[in-house]
């Protein structure tokens, strides 16, 4: 039972992975305190723009020049608009130091970025977990696909995942609801690729949307996705998964969860051979408060989880909690989203797209799977989109506007495009550190970010351009154009590592259960724990890992091994 400020467990971070930890702990009767540095966001109640039309916004749901000037980082994010700005951290409010350019996208509120995420949920495979051991980068993962497979299923059934059974060894199938389907051009391109390449596929992109309501979704109070595709505003139907509509209310319903927003975690406290609690700075009053627990889960999102451990210093751990290996804050990696290929297709002009869908087609990784075949390590996945809708001249007025409004709909060619999601290699010099002098408004050191691309990334971009262009040409697509945005790392919003898992305490921070090697009652189950980054979207893996570790912690607590 909770006694004053004492609980069985503390979860730091009320986002996508932290909410899964809380759900699993509370389901097992563990009295849990969840700390969130931002404000509370309640499902439906706190989605103020979810039913607004574009003309109801002062600037038609676009950003003003002033907003962009005040927020040079966050304004680059695809989801940051007039309708969603209340869910994003503003640049001036939470500064950090960019030793090299990095666009750090954050959402400080209950639910975190699970409100605004892109909802793609592809499983990882042993091609990913065995990658470091096979290719000689990073360190060997201490887990394999078989360790996470039942937890992938556990998570998928609860959150609702739309997908197809594709039978691919490198992209395992899951527990799927019916797919939204692909366009006729998606299907055409998929057939062309299948006929021309034995090792490549174009498939439906699996997404965390309810396309057929199951009993478990009814129990959560969630309904079917309505294809509105304004998910980043929060969905009043609960049609896509976020922590606010699903895992957090589920945990609260158990009576075992205490949720405390406005709680900025300063550090994890250490005493007599174990972590004994968490030091919190109240975000509103600046008051310092200590909470105690037998087990602590760190899920503050990758960079902030690194920051908390780096700032958790003691006589035993002068360089950060659990940092005997000296690897804390190092070997951070991300996904390379710089490259795109666009084209047109003049076939199937008797068809068009009508309506919306919250996903698109997907090209799983095909490079360096069964053998090393290129001059770069690892590979890339890619998105694929096709659409054909009516078009009108923008910014028309007067007679031109009247002519457009009364003219029959006009259609141009099909537009097709692809974007790259390349795996970057964890390196020691891609590192997070604490600034020795600068602090935030709560007296916590600001984070130094020193992360960049390397030669491997450049070679991968070149190969992506070459291979996707060739695939487009075989499909008869025209006006093929490649583009490299040269954007800084960060806009992928897939940063991972810094508190990596591994077998050896001398080269890693966490064991196969996501426990700190040197402090067994602290678990890290968000992106910070990742040893490498694969090519798939990582959120599903974060959730599966969090659920697995939480259930293991419950077993250990009951045995008395964590107290």
E strand map for 379-531: 380-387, 414-423, 431-439, 445-450, 478-484, 496-498, 515-516, 519-524
Nearest CA to 82 among 107, 55, 101?
Answer: 55
Would you say residue 52 lies in a domain? no
| pLDDT band of 397, cuts 50, 70, 90 | confident
Would you say residue 392 lies in a domain? yes
Distance CA 64, CA 62 (A): 7
Query: Which residue range(s) make up the domain with 354?
Result: 178-205+335-423+453-488
Would you say residue 369 lies in a domain? yes
Number of structural domains, the chain? 1
Distance CA 542, CA 495 (A): 12
Residue 394: the pLDDT is 60
Tens of pLDDT, residues 364-389: 999 999 999 999 999 999 999 999 98
Would you say residue 200 lies in a domain? yes
Average pLDDT on 449-454 reads 98
Q: Which tokens go with 202?
A: 């174009």
Would you say residue 75 lies in a domain? no
Distance CA 237, CA 43 (A): 9
**What is the percentage of the chain residues whose pLDDT exceeds 90?**
93
Q: Are 281 and 266 in contact (CB under 8 A)?
A: yes
Tens of pLDDT, residues 222-243: 999 999 999 999 999 999 999 9
**What is the percentage of the chain residues whose pLDDT exceeds 70?**
98
Nearest CA to 524 among 504, 507, 502?
Answer: 502
- pLDDT of 275 over the 50 cut: yes
Residue 389: the pLDDT is 81
| pLDDT band of 1, cuts 50, 70, 90 | very low
Would you say residue 185 lies in a domain? yes
In whole numbers, what is the pLDDT of the chain averaged over residues? 96
Q: Which tokens go with 1?
A: 């039972």
Would you say residue 428 lies in a domain? no
Would you say residue 470 lies in a domain? yes
Residue 66: the pLDDT is 95
- pLDDT of 391 over the 70 cut: no
Nearest CA to 155 among 125, 118, 123, 126?
Answer: 123
């Amino acid at each position: 039972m909770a006694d004053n400020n004492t609980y069985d467990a503390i979860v730091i971070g009320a986002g996508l992975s932290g909410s899964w930890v809380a759900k699993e702990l509370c389901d097992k009767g563990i009295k849990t305190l969840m700390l969130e540095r931002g404000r509370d966001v309640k499902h439906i109640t706190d989605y103020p723009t979810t039913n607004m039309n574009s003309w109801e916004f002062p600037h038609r749901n676009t950003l003003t020049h002033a907003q962009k000037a005040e927020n040079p980082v966050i304004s680059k994010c695809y989801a940051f608009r007039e309708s969603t700005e209340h869910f994003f951290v503003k640049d001036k409010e939470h500064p950090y130091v960019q030793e090299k350019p990095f666009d750090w996208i954050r959402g400080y509120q209950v639910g975190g970025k699970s409100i605004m995420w892109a909802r793609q949920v592809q499983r990882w495979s042993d091609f990913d977990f065995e990658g470091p051991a096979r290719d000689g980068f990073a360190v060997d993962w201490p887990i394999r696909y078989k360790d996470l497979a039942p937890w992938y299923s556990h998570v998928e059934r609860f959150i609702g995942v739309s997908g197809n059974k594709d039978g691919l060894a490198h992209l395992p199938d899951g527990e799927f609801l019916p797919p939204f389907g692909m366009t006729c051009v998606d299907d055409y391109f998929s057939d062309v690729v299948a006929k021309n390449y034995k090792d490549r596929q174009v498939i439906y992109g699996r997404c965390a949307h309810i396309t057929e309501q199951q009993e478990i979704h009814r129990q959560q109070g969630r309904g079917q996705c309505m294809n509105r595709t304004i998910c980043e505003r929060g969905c009043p139907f609960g049609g896509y998964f976020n922590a606010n509509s699903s895992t957090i209310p589920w945990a609260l319903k158990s009576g075992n969860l205490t949720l405390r927003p406005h709680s900025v975690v300063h550090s994890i406290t250490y005493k007599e051979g174990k972590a004994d609690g968490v030091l919190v700075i109240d975000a509103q009053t600046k008051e310092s408060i200590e909470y105690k627990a037998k087990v602590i889960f760190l899920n503050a999102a990758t960079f902030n989880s690194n920051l908390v451990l780096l700032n958790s210093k003691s006589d035993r751990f002068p360089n950060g909690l659990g940092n005997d290996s000296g690897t804390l804050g190092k070997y951070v990696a991300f996904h390379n989203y710089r490259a795109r290929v666009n084209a047109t297709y003049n076939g199937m002009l008797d068809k068009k797209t009508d309506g919306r869908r919250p996903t698109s087609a997907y090209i799983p990784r095909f490079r360096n799977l069964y053998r090393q075949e290129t001059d770069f390590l690892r590979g890339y996945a890619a998105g694929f989109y096709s659409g054909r809708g009516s078009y009108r001249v923008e910014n028309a007025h007067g007679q031109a506007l009247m002519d457009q409004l009364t003219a029959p709909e006009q259609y141009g060619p099909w537009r097709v495009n692809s974007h790259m999601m390349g795996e970057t290699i964890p390196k020691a010099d891609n590192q997070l550190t604490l600034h020795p002098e600068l602090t935030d408004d709560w007296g916590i050191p600001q984070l130094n970010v020193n992360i960049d691309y390397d030669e491997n990334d450049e070679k991968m971009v070149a190969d992506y351009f070459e291979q996707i262009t060739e695939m487009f040409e075989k499909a008869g697509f025209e006006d093929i154009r490649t583009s490299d945005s040269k954007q800084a790392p960060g806009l992928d919003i897939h940063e991972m590592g810094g508190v990596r898992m591994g077998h050896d305490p001398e080269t890693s921070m966490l064991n196969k259960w996501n426990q700190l090697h040197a402090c067994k009652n602290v678990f890290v189950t968000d992106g910070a724990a990742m040893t490498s980054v694969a090519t798939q979207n990582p959120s599903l893996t974060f959730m599966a890992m969090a659920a697995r570790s939480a259930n293991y912690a419950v077993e250990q607590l009951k045995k008395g091994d964590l107290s």
